[in-house]
Amino acid sequence: MQQIIPKKCTVLVIGGGPAGSSTATHLAKSGVDVVLLERAEFPRNQVGESLIPHFWKFTDQLGVSEKIQQQGFLRKAGGITVWNDKVHQILFSDYGYTRPGLHVERDIFDNLLLEHSKRQGALVFNNVVVKQVDLSAVEPIISYIDTREESNVAGTIQCQFVVDASGHSSLLAHQLGTRQSISSEMNFLSLWGYFKGSRYVGVDRQSHASSELKNISPVTFVMSHKDGWLWHIVLREKTSVGLIVRSNKMRGLDKQQREIYFQQSCARLPHLKELLSDAQFMDGSLQYRPDYSYYATQTCKQNYYCIGDAAGFVDPVFSHGVQNAFYNAAVASLAIREALKNTNKSARYAQLCESRMQQFYGFSRALSLGDFGINGVNRDSVKSLMKAMPPLELELMLVASEMTNRSENFKQLAHEAGVWESFSEQHEQQKRGIIDDLKL
C-alpha cells in the first residue's frame, strides 16, 4: 500500500537531487517536519560526475560521509587541463587535502543521499510531479500529480516554507518569471554521452586502460577546442564525455544530427580521439541541454527558497555544481531553522540567505566564465567572499584560475580584495605545474 502524502507539513522540498535531499536531511535532523516530492524514480541518470574535495565538509555535516566511502567510488587525485595547447596539472595533495576528489555515478550517489534523508526522518515521495506553487497566502500551497499508481491523482499540500530544488527545470523561477538566461557575447550549450572501454588520463600524465584503475589514480581531463571545451571523466563501468559548444553550432539540428556531430567531434579532437580509439559509444546515452547558463533574479523570500540548479547554473568547468547544491542546502536550512524560531524575522533570514547564495554564484561565475558586475553578479560581494574563504580553498581556486583564459576578471577581483599577493609562493608553484609530457 502506498504511503499517503500528508495535507500539511512545515517544509516542503521539491526535488530529490543533492540540494533537495541535503536540505531534507539538515531539517529532519533538527526535528523539522519535512516532506520531499521527487518527480522521478530513483536511482535515475544525472550528469555532473566530478567532485572536488571541498564536498566532504558538507557530507560530514549531513552524517553521510561513511556511506559514501563504503560505496567505493573512484578516487581522483586532481585534474589536467589542455587549454589553448598549454597543459596544466593540479594535484589536490599539493594543497593540503588529505581526502580525495571523486568520480561518481550520479544515479548511485544521489540515491545514497536521498535514502540518507529518509533515515533521518524526512518523508520522501518519488514519482510525484509538482505542477504549481501558490504563494498568494502566508503558507504556500503546492499542487502536484501523484503518478505512483496506474491512474494519476491530483493533490495539494500546504506548508510554512517551500524549497525549490527542482534542478534545471527551475520550477519556481519559471513560474515567477525570475529566471534569466546569461547574456554574453557567445552563448554555449552542452552535449554529453557515455562510452564503454575508454582509456583514461592518470595522475602520472599518461593514458591507461580501465583495467589499471586500481593501480593508477585517474584525474578529471578538461580540454579547450575551437568551439568551446570538453570533459572526459572515467567511471567504474563507463566514461562520461561532454562537449561544451557555441549554441550556433547546433542551430537547426535534430536529435540524430546532434548525435552525429557529437560522435564525429569525439573522433577528431586531439587527445580525446586517442582516449576513445577503442571505445564504444553507448547507444541512446546522448543528452542535450540548450539553455546552458542561467540565474534567478530572486532566489529567497519570506516563505520560499530556490536552491542549487533551480536557482542558477554557471559552468561545469571547475566542478562547482554539486558543491553549490550542498552549500545552498546548508545556508537555506539554517535560514529556515532560524525563521521557525523567530517567525517575525523570516524575511530577514531569507534576505541573508539570498545574499550568501548570490555571493557564491558570483564567485563561481567570475572564476568559470570571467565576467562580473552583470548577470546578477555583485563584484563587491565576490571580493568579500574571497576575503572570508578558508586559505586552503582560496588557494586552490586561485591556482585553478590560472588554468584557463577565462578568469582574468577573477584574478582582478582577487587583486582588489588583497588576497592575490598572499599566495605568491603558490603562484610560482603553479608555473611549475605547466607540463609538456602528456602522453595520451
Complete domains list, the chain, with CATH: 8-69+106-180+295-349 (3.50.50.60)
Sign of the Cα pseudo-torsion (329, 332, 335, 339, in order)? negative
pLDDT at res. 432: 46
Which residues touch 214 (CB under 8 Å, ≥6 apart)? none
C-alpha cell at 234: 572515467
C-alpha cell at 339: 525563521
Distance CA 164, CA 158 (A): 14
pLDDT at res. 419: 85
Farthest CA pair distance, the chain: 65
Encode the chain (440 residues) as per-residue pLDDT tens digits. Answer: 679 999 999 999 999 999 999 999 999 999 999 999 999 999 999 999 999 998 999 999 999 999 999 999 999 999 999 988 889 898 998 888 899 999 999 999 999 999 999 999 999 999 999 999 999 999 999 999 999 988 899 999 999 999 999 999 999 999 999 998 876 655 788 999 999 999 999 999 999 999 999 999 999 999 999 888 999 999 999 999 999 998 888 888 899 999 999 999 999 999 999 999 999 999 999 999 886 788 899 999 999 999 999 999 887 777 788 999 999 999 999 999 999 999 999 999 999 999 999 888 888 877 776 654 456 567 888 888 888 888 777 777 777 777 776 667 777 888 888 887 776 555 555 554 566 667 77
pTM value is 0.93
Distance CA 219, CA 217 (A): 7
